[in-house]
Amino acid sequence: MNRLIIFDTTLRDGEQAPGFSMTVEEKVTMAKQLEKLGVDVIEAGFAAASEGDFQAVNAIAETIKDSTVCSLARSLHSDIEKAGEALAPAERKRIHTFIATSPIHMQYKLKMTPEQVLERAVDAVKFARNFTDDVEFSAEDAFRSERDFLFKVFEAVIDAGAKTINVPDTVGYAMPEEFGQLIEDIINNVPNIDKAVISVHCHNDLGLAVANSLSAIKKGARQAHVTINGIGERAGNAALEEVVMSIKVRHDYFKDVYTEINTKEIYKTSRLLCRITGSFVQPNKAIVGDNAFAHEAGIHQHGVLAHRETYEIMRAEDVGVPASKIVLGKHSGRHAFKTRLEELGYRNLSEEEVDKLFRKFKALADKKKEVFDEDIEALIFDELFRTYEEVKLVYFHVLSGNSAIPSSTVKIEKDGKEITATACGDGPIDSALKAIEKALGMTGRLKDYSIRSLSAGKDAMGEVRTVVDFEGTTVSGKGTSTDIIEASVKAYLDAYNRYIARKTFIEKRISEGV
């Protein structure tokens, strides 16, 4: 059997996508879940990129025990030293160093000759081995590189000590047949290729990242760079859930290739990423979308009820999608609630945490006829995973109607004091947000606002995501409630709290002379 190494870059390449930035604490939370998912390598960040990235890599290196923790580094001694320093506490660590090898990158971006690039690549790998024996080398824009030069670079870095050579389709230009052929050509033309693992890193600019990754795996690649939900630069990266489930469902096609991923944790991991980043997964997203296991057409329903495999090639339970969506209500007790938490994968909560969640659940159940799994997950995130609580909503009141000027009164708790403010607006949400801004004493520029229902029914939990610019700093926030105005206010306050946390952190580092 040939094991496929799953290299997750959600916390590095995924986070580089606009709107997906995470705090250090959020990255650690996500890394713990990736470890539980069974990811082989977690690329925790780019240690030299910023102090925040360094701290995130370092914190994850201190926390993660079962997965290898990796940091990206350019082919520069300063980058590699930072990566080595950040990774020092890790039980298993890898430095991933890279340099571009395509003519267009070498000429216009690097302004280096092929000879200089080759020398830099070899030097970087040798230097990285001072910090760890596990060194991965990436030839950025490999697919658009001249083949003979690419083969020469790979041979040289393997001789220098690289244990993994990564083949990126950096701009998502390749077709599956072409990319698979490139892997075959590397195997046939790099003499020492048997001493390294071939890895692939595919982008989704033409919607082919997963197809290209699978084509490469079929031809002999044994590591795949992936992200949860396929997030990443531009159109994203190959989605972990799609690559892993393709290997599992089509084992007849991939023969003896397998992964160590605990697929029952896939859905939970996807949802956690959405909660942390405030992003949504489109309903028709393969594997983890809300409609991935839904059947509305009568013919499909009849077929599935008669025999599941008529229209489903995998079971929802195989990826951790709960078989039952509606399970609890206001008459449910603590035991039933705790059991459902365990069924959803939250088995290690303390009794104090369960009690806290149960009180919130009962309050929600009084407002809703039925409580969905999505509602419970929203409560878990709000109560246990929220990082910053500098400002809290105490009270809000909205007056609106087709013959009234919308106005809102809000009360917030800030710095231990309660502040009340009133404002008018173009609508109830606009007036509420303006009242919040007046109470905060700061006006932000709302750059994006989106809303979706987390569950079914007229009393569904709504989730609002805001992207706000505060004094030139763009932050995202999210809020949930059965009342969409309340969810909007919570989302705006969440964005403000994230801004204050970031500002405080930067000011602290400046005062420390860092």
Which has the closest alpha carbon to 221: 203, 241, 239, 247?
247
Distance CA 219, CA 177 (A): 10
355 is in an annotated binding site: no
C-alpha distances (whole Å) from 32 to each of 39, 43, 66, 423, 492 are 10, 13, 10, 43, 28
Residue 70 CA to chain centroid, in angstroms? 16
262 is in an annotated binding site: no
The residue behind tokens 């109560």 is: 383
Q: What does the block give as tokens for 251?
A: 């084992």
C-alpha distances (whole Å) from 348 to each of 30, 234, 338, 357 are 16, 37, 11, 14
HEC string for 360-393: HHHHHHHHCCCEEHHHHHHHHHHHHHCCCCCEEE
CB neighbour list of residue 330: distance below 8 Å, 6 or more residues apart:
362, 365, 366, 368
CB neighbour list of residue 315: distance below 8 Å, 6 or more residues apart:
308
DSSP-assigned letter for residue 457 = S
Say if residues 414 and 391 touch (Cβ distance below 8 Å).
yes
The residue behind tokens 């009084």 is: 366
Distance CA 364, CA 325 (A): 16
Say if residues 278 and 476 touch (Cβ distance below 8 Å).
yes
What end-to-end distance do the CA atoms of the chain give, in Å?
50
134 is in an annotated binding site: no
Q: CA torsion 122→123→129→131, rounded to 10°?
A: -150
203 is in an annotated binding site: yes
SS3 content of the chain, % helix, strand, coil (to 5): 45, 25, 30
Residues tagged in the binding site annotation for Mn(2+): 13, 201, 203, 237
Residues tagged in the binding site annotation: 13, 201, 203, 237
